[in-house]
A = this chain, B = another copy of it.
């Protein structure tokens, strides 16, 4: 789909310039938290009949190219993939290269996230096979986008926003390609067993339910039934066996080591003490922490404090890591509700412990459901590339304007009872606290605390937290104070990104409205 010559830009409710139309599709500008009221009914797939599928349940075809042909892949279609295998995934490129062999053009690639190992997708964009990527672009693909080289516009969504967009019919997936660490010939899939085990397959669930055609690719075919069936074969058209769906060494995240940086350890400890002193750490509480070095250290500190206080959590959410698994196995939490599995301890646990439960973006994050898990969390610890003095935050671009990260579940998690950003006060001598974020990903009204190694800033909207923490030994300071100190250290404010007036991607809010724009770098 070619970009229209002239894209109208309008101002949304938080003063950000956003395009009215993206890839030919009209957009709704962000209206504020909880303000947009969706209308209409959910998307729905064509009604199929069992008469058209093999009675013995064997849906295998010889290779992925054949499966794509049988799905009727043609120019301009939307092809989806998912990132459970992270930087080790081989299946998404296999599918895109299969499409290239068939000779189709102008595809929209709709991954749940793309990774550096998939950089050869750039060649497919140059060749016109892929028009654009809708989905998180980590590293080189994001960089390519902010260089203005992608023909269509990027659309960045949270995990929950991706479900919402599919469910609401904003994105119609023609062909979904699902990498399955275990599958049966009927198409039932499980991520928690097999040589390429990655844990939950939740990110592929929406694709399996809403795509017109669904292909499963596996390197561990088992006789029917594949149990558990995280993906149901009743939604699957074809099954393809391959030697390898990915590189097991890269399937688990690289970022599952506790930080050794004294500054970051300090942030982690601050946050654990904050939860304790704020009274959030109490019997039956819940929290979410991801895979970053600070988050892992935070879990480690909090665990000690929970033990000392004799406190047990009702549930914790990950990205699961060995640190969360230890909490479960030591009886410090009743459940892990797992969105994605980050290390081998997590994979082992989810494959064997019934209290380590696979979730999906539907249960955890979809804003256009009847509620979701994210708002039930007592606290969540997240990162950011930038945060401003109104607590607005950025997670996708750097201060130079380059798009290098995806949103993940970050936006969805902002709904928690106490949202804490754990950020070093500067990186590479560039201050993290800024006057205005390069790209707005999270409205400040949802961010309660910014924790740096130089002090903890509580959002003035959370007078309740400020009151509770009075008398705490924690270094609680106004965010402006921390900012000024850091600017003195770094020799001033960060240089603003030099950008053109050409939008290259948009950041969607969890309700599908357009929160901000990513611009081509000048």
A residues contacting B by CB (< 8 A) are 34-51, 53-57, 59, 167-168, 186-187, 214, 223-225, 227-229, 232-237, 284, 314-315, 335, 337, 354-355, 357, 362-363, 366-373, 375-376, 415, 511
Chain B residues with Cβ under 8 A from A50's Cβ? 366-372, 375, 415
Cross-chain contact A362 with B234 (CB below 8 angstroms):
yes
Chain B residues with Cβ under 8 A from A357's Cβ? 225, 227-228
Bound CA span A141–B44, Å: 35
| Number of identical monomers bound together in the oligomeric complex | 2
Bound CA span A284–B225, Å: 11
Shortest C-beta distance, A225 to chain B (Å), equals 6
Chain B residues with Cβ under 8 A from A42's Cβ? 44-47
Complex partner residue of A370 from B38, B187, B227, B335, CB under 8 angstroms = B187
Tell me whether A43 and B40 are in contact in the complex, defined as CB-CB below 8 angstroms, given that A314-B223, A357-B225, A376-B224 are known contacts: no
Chain B residues with Cβ under 8 A from A56's Cβ? 375-376
Most chain B beta-carbon neighbours within 10 Å: one of A45, A237, A415: A45
Bound CA span A107–B112, Å: 43
Chain B residues with Cβ under 8 A from A367's Cβ? 49-51
Bound CA span A121–B373, Å: 38
Cross-chain contact A370 with B47 (CB below 8 angstroms):
no
Chain B residues with Cβ under 8 A from A44's Cβ? 41-44
Complex partner residue of A234 from B186, B235, B355, B371, CB under 8 angstroms = B371
Cross-chain contact B49 with A37 (CB below 8 angstroms):
yes
Cross-chain contact B57 with A376 (CB below 8 angstroms):
yes
Q: Is the interface of A mostly helix, strand, loop or mixed?
A: loop
Bound CA span A35–B43, Å: 27
Shortest C-beta distance, A15 to chain B (Å), equals 22
Shortest C-beta distance, A72 to chain B (Å), equals 15
Cross-chain contact B234 with A375 (CB below 8 angstroms):
no
Chain B residues with Cβ under 8 A from A376's Cβ? 55-57, 186, 224
Chain B residues with Cβ under 8 A from A187's Cβ? 370
Cross-chain contact B223 with A370 (CB below 8 angstroms):
no
Bound CA span A53–B237, Å: 36
Chain B residues with Cβ under 8 A from A369's Cβ? 48, 50, 234-235
Bound CA span A56–B284, Å: 14
Bound CA span A373–B226, Å: 12
> What are the 8 tightest A-B residue pairs by CB atom distance, in nearest-first order?
A34-B51, A53-B371, A42-B44, A55-B375, A234-B369, A38-B47, A44-B44, A41-B44
Chain B residues with Cβ under 8 A from A57's Cβ? 371, 373, 375-376
Bound CA span A370–B212, Å: 11
Cross-chain contact B45 with A41 (CB below 8 angstroms):
yes
Cross-chain contact A362 with B232 (CB below 8 angstroms):
yes
A-B contact pairs, 10 of them (CB 8 A): A37-B51, A47-B167, A47-B168, A48-B369, A49-B368, A55-B375, A223-B284, A224-B376, A225-B337, A234-B371
Bound CA span A224–B511, Å: 25
Most chain B beta-carbon neighbours within 10 Å: one of A37, A47, A55, A59: A47
Cross-chain contact B46 with A40 (CB below 8 angstroms):
yes
Residue of B nearest to A224 (CB): B376
Tell me whether A227 and B284 are in contact in the complex, defined as CB-CB below 8 angstroms, given that A46-B41, A370-B233 are known contacts: no
Bound CA span A368–B45, Å: 11
Bound CA span A39–B49, Å: 10
Residue of B nearest to A57 (CB): B376
Chain B residues with Cβ under 8 A from A229's Cβ? 363
Chain B residues with Cβ under 8 A from A167's Cβ? 47
Cross-chain contact A225 with B315 (CB below 8 angstroms):
yes
Chain B residues with Cβ under 8 A from A168's Cβ? 47
Tell me whether A224 and B371 are in contact in the complex, defined as CB-CB below 8 angstroms, given that A47-B168, A234-B366, A376-B56 are known contacts: no
Bound CA span A468–B451, Å: 76
Shortest C-beta distance, A48 to chain B (Å), equals 5
Chain B residues with Cβ under 8 A from A223's Cβ? 284, 314
Cross-chain contact A40 with B51 (CB below 8 angstroms):
no
